[in-house]
Amino acid sequence: AQKVTQAQTEISVVEKEDVTLDCVYETRDTTYYLFWYKQPPSGELVFLIRRNSFDEQNEISGRYSWNFQKSTSSFNFTITASQVVDSAVYFCALSEAGNNAGNMLTFGGGTRLMVKP
């Protein structure tokens, strides 16, 4: 069965600091997708990135970067030069090819990031 663990329940940083959010996953499938979503105080889920299990290249998008390492089953998310607007709950999620529910997502418990001015 699939599982996603976000060990950091809450992180507090000061604006302009870099911060890394950890995500560790478990799956028996060799084909899967990993996701990060942002949930601001307004409650909606904002899609940030999707990564497939065959592509371990790190990705950078502006101040965001992702480090995918299959050897440690981790998909960590780094925000560089954090801003107050980055304050939100961030969820890591996994979708397996082998489940019967199409691409049902399994979410981690989330990390609440607070960026103070």
Partner 1 sequence: EPEVTQTPSHQVTQMGQEVILRCVPISNHLYFYWYRQILGQKVEFLVSFYNNEISEKSEIFDDQFSVERPDGSNFTLKIRSTKLEDSAMYFCASTLTSGVFNEQFFGPGTRLTVL
Binding site for partner 1 (CB under 8 A): 31-33, 37, 43-45, 47, 50, 52, 91, 93, 95-97, 99-110
For partner 1, give the closer residue by CB, 85 or 101: 101
Q: Are the CB atoms for 106 and 93 separated by under 8 Å? A: yes
Least distance (Å) between residue 81 CB and partner 1: 28
For partner 1, give the closer residue by CB, 18 or 26: 26
DSSP-assigned beta bridge partners for residue 113: 11, 88
- Find the Cα–Cα–Cα–Cα dihedral 86, 91, 96, 100, rounded to 10°: -120
Least distance (Å) between residue 37 CB and partner 1: 8
CA 39 to chain centroid, in Å, comes to 11
Least distance (Å) between residue 26 CB and partner 1: 15
